[in-house]
Structure formats: structure tokens, C-alpha cells
A and B are shown apart, each in its own frame.
Chain A
């Protein structure tokens, strides 16, 4: 009787062939067979999803059929992007220590995840990041001047000095401006992917986040929406072992983030994030299929955060120097790629020395220039809240202007554009 009502009231529901004599499950919620043995599924964390890699720790290709055979220029670009980023990180970290900028986050150890994935995308693919993906921008040739401008909040900052350092954004390079709240970018990236699908843009959206951010509700929301709404998106998780001081053993109890993908109906893979070619191959294939098949892909790139969480963190408080040294010395994406380059005969000690000198010089020049530039006019405190400035806000702007006329000496006006 209830069957007839449901068919009458929901004419659009999928018509299933029902037969009360048939013993197969009829539940709309799952496609499965019956089982008459009581058995709980045991989560498998002892031998989890295997980690795809192309190079060993010495930069030698393990399985030649997996070698992407990238041309020399491209591999050199990968290498130079990573090393330039590394150099910039060292200098800007120091500059915070010296009180020149207020805050900084380094990318030590994770450079491979950035450039390997960026190299596999089209330049117009939209990037939503978390905050430790500067290498993606570096690979897309974001100028040092603009990295520095954002960190210094100077007059050249495209972000108009509004955010803390490392909150980069670039419309021209399709890199959505970083925001501090974690994982908020995940459902947003899904929406952008949906719009790209509707527009037949032939575009993938890539969304980066850490294994800590993956605990947020927004991550769950994003995964589920991407799968149900069939969005061309790559979810790229940088599993670097720590969320500030919280190790992965306190972040999750399952088999990392890759194992969650199938729970949502998402194609998933785990890769060696310190192997640029593995990251490249996985991202390349994910991109191809995500766009062709309009479905999400989840890549969990295993890596290690060699640096502190930020300049506000001293990680010796929660991990050993030995552990950090291991990764720095024995399994670093830059070293591994350098070994590959050397073995190809595409690089040598001379070039290494010259490049180190050159990259340091470039960074120092940009740094000195950024230091010298003034900050933006304080009027920019008030614009872009809305597209148009509301009347009440204009009044507040005028009120500050009047205040500064009388009390200006107590404000650092000399550093700001007039």
C-alpha cells in the first residue's frame, strides 16, 4: 500500500522494479548484497593505501615506464622554482626575525608538492590554496617583487596591504587570494569547478590543503559536494606530518586522507610528495580525467614540514632535531631532483654555485626594494568593503582624515603614501 502512495506522490523518482518475492535488497540508500554473518569492517591502518613514487630517495627512476620524460627546460624550471622559493624563504624568515616583516611561513620540504602539481596543470587552471603553496605561484612566474610586496604590505602589494604576509593572490595567474581560516577554500573550489563545468571551460580547479585542515567540516562538505555534483576538481592534500604541533596520530585515526576519498565516491591516490615526478604524474592524470569525466580526484601527497609552522612557532618544543634532520638530509624534494638532473647531465656543481649566487642576488634585490617602498595610503583602509563605498563608511573615512589632521604626529604617517 505504501508502495502505491510513493509512486503516486513522487513521479520523478527512479522507478525500480519491485517484486516482493525477490530477496535482493531494495534500499534506495545502498547498492549491496545481503550477508548473514555479523562482521565489522576493520579499518586498515597497518598497511594503508600504498605511496606512488617514480624516483627513489637518490633521484633514480625506479620504473622507467613511469618516467614522465619531461624535457630539460621543464625539469630545470621545476628545480629553479623550488630553489628560488627556498632562497626567498630563508631571506624572508630572517627578515621577520629582524623585525622587518611581521610574520612569515616557510615551505621547507614541501616544494616538490607545489611545483610537481603546478607543472601538471594548465596555466589557466584555477588554484585555491591554504597558505603553504607559494611554489605554485613561483612556478607560474609570480615576480619576487610581488611576493615581497605582499609580505611588506607596501604600495606595490596587489592586496593593498590588507592581509598578513604570505596571503598571496594573483588574478592574472589564476591563484585565488589566500585566507587564514582553514579549509574554507575547499567547498569554494568545488563551486568554482562546477561553474567551470557549466561554462565548458575545459578547466580544472585544484584545491590545496593540509592534513590538519582536512579535519574541518568544510573539507567534508567540499568532498561530498564535489562527488554528488560531479565537479572537475583535484583535491590536493599536503600531508606533512604536523598541524602546528599536532602530529597526524592526533589528527586522525584512519588511513590518512586518501582513504576518505572512496567514502565519498572519489577517485583517490597517495603519492610521495617529495618526488616531483610522482606528484607530476598523478596530477597530470587526475587533471586529464577530472576534466574529461567531470569527477573529483583526491591526491594525498605525503611529505614532511621541515620548517616551523610559522615564525610564531618553535617546533623544537614538540619534535626532535634528529627527526627534522632526517628529512632535510635524506629525503628532500630538491636534493632528489638535483640528483636526477646530475645523472641526466643537465646540471653540475658550477651551475649550482652560479644559480645559488644568482637567486640569492635576485631575492636580495627584490627584498631591498620592497623595504624601501612606502605603505599604501591609509584611505585604502576603507575601500573594497563593498564594490561601492557606503555613505556611513565614507563618514568614518572622513572622520579618520580629520583625526589625523590633529593627531597625525602619533601615527606612522611617514611610512605611508600621501
Chain B
């Protein structure tokens, strides 16, 4: 009985967080989908912790790419993969559990549609997955590798940093693995703890030769993923797992590209620049509203989108205008990518700054389980940091 109640509790949490699927190394209770139902009124303090720390804000329906369809993040990924396999006969998708549709359903239907030689499982071995993918790409074919959770990308670190990133340079452009894209679920999800919540982009930011891209929404995800797949350099595409089901909007059915290495100013403002990527963009958007409402402060909100090579010009241009910069990410503070942005901006825009650059990030701890609500750089922490910057 207690087991069933515990299971129901877990499932409610999952539902509220919007995540879905099997957890490969999850040691909790089984997750049969039949148990899911909408959460009841949230009066109980214990239930309050299940409310997400962000509100997904869809972008207006895109008009310039033809017919659209309501898709959530995992469906927009499927759509991008579908488009890729349709127009590029060399393209293949592989990784753990992708054949049946993937633990986050990103590859549902693709094996049936394109065949088992094009959408297939690999043994459980990340260094093998990436190494194998590099080899496919070396022959010129398009390799789309999935690493089941960004937390498990580290066995492949050598292949990514020492091999993929350096293939073209070290061979004098005789060989390259530009047609490799690695996709991986990324970021906090409400209960993922140490090994299902990580945002490892900073480790890869230090590696010339690869591109690292993180979308904030289904529409962005499809366009950016297609750009990564078509880009002539090896790319890592991190997908905010908490958005797989929680984020839904109109997304074009046909393929389209969103350029890499271009940040997007999603809201113009004059007093403070806020920079984030992935899920955190929605947090800072809300912070911008709070700032407007409570402090009369006008915020310019930037989604960085590509971590490396990053769009220095857009961020600096904004800071030159506003004089204040706040950067926020879930990943730990020390050595996080905010430090790179902060360092570059103070070099380029020193005399324009009205206050020290503010970084609102995760603490320098592993990602905790029960303490997640305290760990994450939520809107209150960002708001408070913003307020201090304004009053500096």
C-alpha cells in the first residue's frame, strides 16, 4: 500500500515537472503511464514543491516557413530528425534505446519509416557511440548520435575533445567529422538529482572545434537541430528535458534553419541585459516582467542559443546600451559559462558598465535531489540580483 502511494507521489511529480519516459539508472518505483492524472488543487505545502520553477512562454506562430503544427519539444526533435532522414539518404540515428522511440520519445516512428539500418540501437557505451559516430562522419555520411542523458556524456569526452574537435585541424583538412551531431537531454527536471540534471556545456565550451547549441523551445529546437545536422562541424545539441512535454507551440512541418552562433534578443530593453539559454530563458523572461512591474526596470532579454562559438557582438552591443549584465545558468557557478561571458564583456564594455556583472547560477555542489528547489537559480534569486545591480 505504502509502495503504491509512493509510486503515485513519484508519478505526480513527474507529471508536474512534465518529464516522461524510462530512467535507465533510476532506482525508484516503476513508471506505468496508466497512473498519470492531472494534479489536484495545490494547497498542500508538500504539493507546492512539484510546481515547475518556470513558465514556458511560446513564441508567436511562425509564418514564414509554411504550415505549422502544435508540437512539444520531443515532437519538434522528431520532426527535425524525420526531415533530415528524408532528404539525406546517408543520415543515420543511433544510441541507446533509440530503436523503440527513445526514453524521451524523440525517435518514435523513425525506425519503421526509415529502416533498421538507419535508426538502430547501439550497445550501452557512450565512448563507443561517439567514436562510432565520428567514423561514420569521416566517410562523409551524416551521423546523429544520441547520448541518453548529458550526465553520461563523460565517457565520450576523449572522443569529443581529443578526436572530433580536432579532426579537421590535425589532418590539415584532409579529414573531418563535420557531419556528426550529438544530441543529449540536458538540465534540471525537478527530481533528476546528480545524474539526470546536469548541464555540462562549460566542459565543452573550452574545446575549440566543436559547436554547442541549446534551444529554449520546440520551434527553436527544430531549426537549431537542423542547422547542427547540416553544419560542417561536429555539434553537440543539448535538449532541455524538462521542456520535452512542458513546452508546446506551433512548429513548421517543413524543414527550416535557425543560424548557429547567433544569439536572439527576445525582448528589447534599456536598463539591464539578461542572458540565459535553454530552460533558464523562461525564468529570466519572467524576471524581466517582475522587474518591470515591481521596479519599473526595462530588461533586454537575450537567449544565447549557441554556447560556442558564441555571439559576443550581440551581447556586447546590448550591454553597451544598458550598462548592466546578469547571466544565469543552472550549471555550477565556478567555471560555468557565465564566467566566460562576464570576462569577455568586462574586457569589451568596461567603461559602459554601471555595476559589476552578475551571475546567478547553481551552487558549487553536485546537483542535489531533495534540495533542488533551493539549488536552482530561480526567478527570486535572479530578481534579487537584478535589484542589487539596479541599486549599485
Instruction: Please list the residues of chain A having a beta carbon within 8 angstroms of any beta carbon in chain B.
Output: 12, 126, 128, 157-160, 162-163, 167, 169-171, 176-177, 179, 181, 184, 186-196, 198-199, 217-218, 220-222, 224-225, 228-229, 383-388, 390-393
Contact = CB atoms under 8 A, between A and B. Distances in A.
Interface in B161-205: 162-163, 166-176, 178
Nearest to A224: B123
A165 to B, nearest CB: 13
Contacts of B163: 179, 181, 184, 188
B131 A186 contact: yes
Interface residues of B, number: 50
29 contacts: A159-B171, A159-B174, A160-B173, A169-B172, A169-B175, A176-B171, A177-B172, A177-B174, A179-B162, A179-B163, A184-B131, A188-B135, A188-B138, A195-B90, A217-B127, A218-B127, A221-B123, A221-B127, A222-B131, A225-B122, A384-B168, A384-B172, A385-B168, A386-B211, A386-B232, A386-B233, A388-B232, A391-B312, A393-B208
B134 interface: yes
B117 interface: yes
B209 interface: yes
Interface of B: 90, 92, 100, 117-118, 120, 122-123, 125, 127-128, 130-141, 143, 155, 158-159, 162-163, 166-176, 178, 208-209, 211, 232-233, 261, 309, 312-313
Contacts of A162: 169-170, 172
A160 B173 CA distance: 9
B263 to A, nearest CB: 13
Interface centre among B132, B138, B143, B208 (most CB of A within 10 A): B132
A335 B330 CA distance: 65
A171 B174 contact: yes
A177 to B, nearest CB: 4
A387 B312 contact: no
Nearest 4 interchain pairs by C-beta = A191-B135, A187-B131, A221-B128, A188-B135
B135 A177 contact: no
Nearest to B178: A387
A157 to B, nearest CB: 7
Nearest to B122: A225
A163 B133 CA distance: 23
A179 B171 CA distance: 9
Contacts of A387: 168, 176, 178, 232-233
A167 B135 CA distance: 18
A5 to B, nearest CB: 10
A224 B126 CA distance: 12
Contacts of B172: 157-160, 162, 169, 177, 384
Contacts of B139: 126, 191-192, 195-196, 199
Given A384-B172, A386-B209, 16 more contacts: A159-B170, A159-B172, A167-B170, A169-B175, A177-B172, A181-B162, A191-B133, A191-B137, A192-B139, A199-B90, A221-B125, A222-B131, A386-B211, A391-B313, A392-B312, A393-B309
Nearest to B155: A217
A386 B309 contact: yes
Contact of A195 (B131, B141, B162, B233): B141
B125 A190 contact: no
A225 B125 contact: yes
B372 to A, nearest CB: 31
Contacts of A196: 139
A159 B173 CA distance: 7
